């Protein structure tokens, strides 16, 4: 678990090329999520089963449902707030220096 939770992401994120590729970052995030779910299952499943762990349909549905509730709450909160600081005096200069259009 140390390899997948710390060492591999740490070593990959040291590279600038990896941090500039959205697909690689999304894959790394997905791998971390899967590693976290495997770790949670590994810690809990032996306490309830016999020698061989058995999978139940709730093992898959519960994390997806809880994640869906979290994403919905995040999106609901995100719609209520501005993504940029509205009254920042340096915001116009930031857009001009980045080559974006100023309003």
Give me the pLDDT at residue 70, please. Answer: 95
- The average pLDDT across 20-45 equals 88
In the three-class reduction of DSSP (H, G, I as helix; E, B as strand; rest coil), residue 56 is classed as coil
Query: What pTM, to 2 d.p., does this model score?
Result: 0.58
Residue 54 CA, chain-centre distance (Å), reads 27
Give the CA distances from residue 99 to residues 78, 92, 94, 102, 103, in Å, rounded to whole numbers and listed in that order. 26, 11, 9, 9, 13
Tens-digit pLDDT profile for residues 37-87: 888 888 877 666 566 667 788 888 988 999 999 999 999 999 998 888 888
């Amino acid at each position: 678990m140390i390899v997948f939770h710390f060492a591999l992401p740490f070593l990959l994120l040291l590279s600038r090329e990896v941090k500039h590729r959205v697909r690689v970052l999304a894959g790394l995030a997905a791998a971390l999520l899967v590693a976290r779910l495997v770790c949670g299952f590994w810690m809990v499943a032996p306490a309830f089963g016999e020698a061989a762990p058995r999978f139940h349909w709730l093992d898959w549905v519960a994390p997806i449902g809880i994640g869906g509730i979290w994403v919905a709450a995040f999106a609901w909160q995100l719609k209520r707030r501005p993504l940029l600081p509205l009254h920042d005096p340096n915001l116009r200069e930031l857009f001009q220096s980045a080559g974006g259009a100023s309003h």
